[in-house]
Amino acid sequence: MNIIEHNSMKKNWRITPVKFALCYPNAYRVGMSCLATHLLYEILNMRNDVLCERFFYDSKLPILSIESKKPLNLFNIIGFSMQYELDYIHSIKMLLKSGIPPLSDDRKEGDPIVCFGGPSVTSNPEPLAPFADVIFIGEVEDTLNQFIDTFLERRSRKRFEILDGFSKIPGVYVPKLNNRVKRVWVNNLDKVPHAIRQIIPKVSSKSSFHPVLGKSFLLEVSRGCGWGCRFCLEGYNYLPMRFRSFEKLIKILDDGLKYTPTNNIVIIGSAALSHPNLKELLNYLHMHGYFFSMPSLRLDLVDEDLLMLLKKGGQRTPVFAPETSSERLLNIINKRFELDRLFDTIRIVKNVGFKNVKLYFILGLPGETIDDVQSILDIVCKVADLGFMGLRSVRLSFSFFVPKANTPFQWFGMENKKSLKDKINLIRMKLKGDKRFEVRFPSIRESMIQAFISRSGREISPILLYVAKIDGNLSSWYVAEKHFKFSIEEIVTKTLDSSVRLPWEFFDIGYDRLILFKEFNKAISEL
């Protein structure tokens, strides 16, 4: 993987004591659109005693670092950034292909320390626990340097003593020691680093290495979300909701754009629209000649001024996530807006001058019927009739409800494959030939595997290892089902007993778990 980049760093291997492998177990273009990749890389490389190099997953390429083309097994510490459960197999395959024992119990003195962090393992670390020496629970800005310092202090000691030192750090889970851990988070975003020297690859927009979010400066304005959608992992994983101050954001921009060769800004934050100075920030960007965009907008918070600013900033397609078109289902998932608001907003979108609009919906929500899907079709046709008549001017992206650990919907099961297929077929049949629509669906099978991993414990580690060893593709999961005599669909479609303790309840998530149970019961009462 030979890529020329702005802001990548190549340090002296001979004199730098700590070699840290930062692994994003997916494609380069995906990993380089994740702000965590830029942030961790910069925090680690700011230290003179740490050399951090990046690894990505490509089934056709050897596992070598971007910076020096060195193999994974030469590094002291390997840190995997886990954003999605489906990447778990990739991470195990990276270890296997690098000659590193994938199970922590099999590693010996001198083997790398293998760490996992990110939203999916914060939600539920147990499926990966047997593979991990260390798992970071929560946000790492306040603890990463302490982690490195502990390694430097103890690196000459036995492996067990090093791990014991890590277990004393807040938010650091050492599965071998089964230490009690509380999720950690940053209290004040203004007081922690933001990635300034973000890496921009020198590739064309048609390159397979072109980042998903383009050659952009990623600006995180908020973290966490207070809206309380009951299915949403990010909403609960990153509580409480926090904002960077306007003054700090301007400082980040001024510093960052001195080093990062782009004039395109992507606003990051699940509650970004709730930022008290958002319009002021967008006005600042516009006045200084920057292009800018927001990956998703809340229907109940946008207005004509905001959409006009985004249009001036160069955003081509505003993106909204109604999730469903049923008032009953909106109450079940705790999404608070009225459907009339959707049409009012679409009219504004059209009047402002946008030629396209993108809408996200979830199929298979608890309590959803085929009539609810028909209602979605009625609504999207009305959206198109409001003026979006061009070729593929209404872009519809459907996902399937996947229960996530540590959300109120963790107890609900997924809808079965046949029912989901029936709903897909209805949508395709009703919209067939209507060139105004572009429609995308994910894989039902992949969604069910995601749900299976999300709600499991350590007992599935032999299955994950088996799948990784035989190839790691979707077909491997069918082989694993036969080998271990189980059915993924049967498991993920079951509603869990809310009185039974779940594998991930060993950890302190930082708020009363009764909140999840109360919200689950509120949803039940709406069914």
Torsion of CA 96, 99, 100, 101, to 10 degrees: 70
Arithmetic mean of pLDDT, 425-443:
97
Return d(Cα 190, Cα 464) in angstroms, integer. Answer: 39
Q: What is the pLDDT averaged over residues 258-265? A: 97
Q: What does DSSP say about strands 394-400 and 357-363: parallel, antiparallel, or unpaired?
A: parallel
CA separation for the pair 331, 522 (Å, rounded): 9
| Arithmetic mean of pLDDT, 473-501 | 96
| Fold classified for 5-173 | Rossmann fold (3.40.50)
Task: Give the C-alpha separation, 164 to 147, whole Å.
Answer: 12
**Cα angle value 194/28/477 (rounded, 5°):** 115
Buried/exposed 404-431: b ≥16 CB within 10 Å, e otherwise: bbbbbbbbbbbbbbebbeebbeebeebb
From CA 441, how far away is CA 70, in angstroms rounded?
Answer: 38
pLDDT band at 364 (very low <50, low <70, confident <90, very high): very high
* Measured CA distances, 184 to 129, 254, 522 (Å): 18, 29, 28
Question: Is the pLDDT at 489 greater than 90, yes or no?
Answer: yes
* Section 110-139 average pLDDT: 97
Residue 217 has pLDDT above 90, yes or no: yes
Contact (Cβ atoms closer than 8 angstroms) between residue 29 and residue 211: yes
The token duo for 330 is 């909106």
Distance CA 332, CA 335 (A): 8
Note the pLDDT of residue 166.
Answer: 98
Mean pLDDT within 455-471: 97
| Cα–Cα dist 271/361, whole Å | 19
pLDDT tens digits for 60-99? 999 999 999 999 999 999 999 999 999 999 999 999 999 9
Instruction: Place 519 in a pLDDT band, splitting at 50, 70 and 90.
Output: very high
Using pLDDT thresholds of 50, 70 and 90, give the confidence band for residue 300.
confident
The answer to whether 44 and 58 have CB atoms below 8 angstroms apart is no
Contact 477, 487 (CB under 8 A): no
What does the alpha-carbon distance between residue 86 and residue 90 come to, in Å, rounded to a whole number?
8
Delimit the domains of the chain by residue range: 5-173, 314-527
Distance CA 250, CA 393 (A): 34
Fold (topology level) of 314-527: Transcription Regulator spoIIAA (3.30.750)
Number of H helices and E strands in the chain, helices first, is: 19, 17
pLDDT of residue 340: 87
**pTM to 2 decimals?**
0.96
**Quick check: helix, strand or coil at residue 381?**
helix
Exposure string over 287-309, b if 16+ CB within 10 A, otherwise e: eeebbbbbeebbbeebeeebbbb
Residue 25 · residue 94 · CB < 8 Å: yes
370-413 pLDDT tens trace? 999 999 999 999 999 999 999 999 999 999 999 999 999 999 99
